[in-house]
Amino acid sequence: MSVLCITGTSTDVGKTVTTAAVATVAAAAGLRVAVCKPAQTGVADGEPGDLAEITRLAGPDIDTLELARYPEPLAPDTAARRSGRPLLSLLDVVAAVRELDATHDLTLVEGAGGVLVRIGADGFTIADVAAALDAPALVVAAAGLGTLNHSALTVAALRSAGVRCVGTVIGSWPAAPDLAQQCNLEDLPDVAGVPLLGRIPEGSGSVAPEEFGAGAQEWLAACRLLPEPVDPLLRPRG
């Protein structure tokens, strides 16, 4: 079994669409895939959240689990305190992911916001979750100015926590990239120190599931998500 934590350089960089794309590629390879979203914020009870979007894009065969929901669009620990709802604990998140992973070939854990956003009690982050699970992380980055610094800082934070970063994915690649975006495409692997594994075209989250499924294979596989260097994560284990 394998766990991959998916984090971002900031909020709104395309983590959910990237998570759906990875899930789609893995499911197409014949793997049993689950996605855990420890904390969903900014969505009221009964409303569809990020996991509903992943199910829409990647298909109903992807099992999903949300552990906590807070209605205000804030960092999870802040949103929990303001709502009066219980904060998540690191132990509870790790236990839930391990339970999912016991019955799946690949379990994706989507964080909230950037890598050091506090998820719950004692200020634990997605980096702490990955470290506790001994799981690698994938970083979703923006395309434009600032992404080199933000990506390098995110990878450094993961390494400081003892987490291996498998690479970056640009979560929203424009149809007409400007000069900075084109240069970032070349410079990102060198500056961040990890491979660039893919780029998701902007607006991909709004396409039909069939189009998304076909596109995910190109967006990620063509950029070496398969077979290198993440193939061990996407290979069933006995």
Determine the pLDDT at residue 218. 86
Contact 166/220 with Cβ under 8 angstroms?
Answer: no
Phi, psi values for residue 156, rounded to 5°: -65, -40
Domain boundaries, the chain: 2-173+183-233
Distance of CA 136 to the CA centre of its chain: 11
Sign of CA dihedral 185, 191, 192, 195: positive
Q: What is the pTM of this model?
A: 0.91
> Radius of gyration (Cα) for the chain, nearest Å?
16
Q: Which two tokens stand for residue 104?
A: 């799946």
The structural architecture, per CATH, of the domain 2-173+183-233 is: 3-Layer(aba) Sandwich (3.40)
Average pLDDT over residues 191-203: 94
Nearest residue to 99 via CA among 126, 133, 58: 133
Residue 140 reports pLDDT greater than 50: yes
Q: Is the pLDDT of residue 133 over 80?
A: yes
Please enumerate in sequence order all residues whose Cβ is within 8 A of that of 7, keeping only pairs 6 or more positions apart, or say none. Answer: 15, 111, 114, 115, 126, 127, 137, 138, 139, 140, 154, 158
CA distance linking residue 238 with residue 217, whole number of Å: 25
Give the DSSP H or E segment for 90: helix 90-101
Q: Is 37 a catalytic residue?
A: yes
pLDDT in tens, 72-118: 999 999 999 999 999 999 999 999 999 999 999 999 999 999 999 99
Structure tokens at 179: 């000069």
Considering only CA atoms, which of 201, 138, 128 is closest in space to residue 7?
138
Nearest-angstrom CA–CA distance, 172 and 140: 9
- Which residue in the list 15, 37, 69, 199 is annotated as catalytic? 37
Q: How confident is the model at residue 220 (pLDDT cuts 50, 70, 90)?
A: confident
Q: Whose structure tokens read 């970056």?
A: 168
Count of alpha carbons within 13 angstroms of residue 42, beta-carbon side = 9
**Complete edge-to-edge strand list for the sheet that includes strand 196-201:** 63-70, 33-41, 106-114, 2-8, 137-141, 165-173, 196-201
Position 221 scores a pLDDT of 55
Residue 184's pLDDT band (boundaries 50, 70, 90)?
Answer: very high
Helices 90-101/126-133 angle, 10° precision: 50
What burial class does residue 189 get, using C-beta atoms within 10 Å of its C-beta: 0-12 exposed, 13-18 middle, 19+ buried? middle
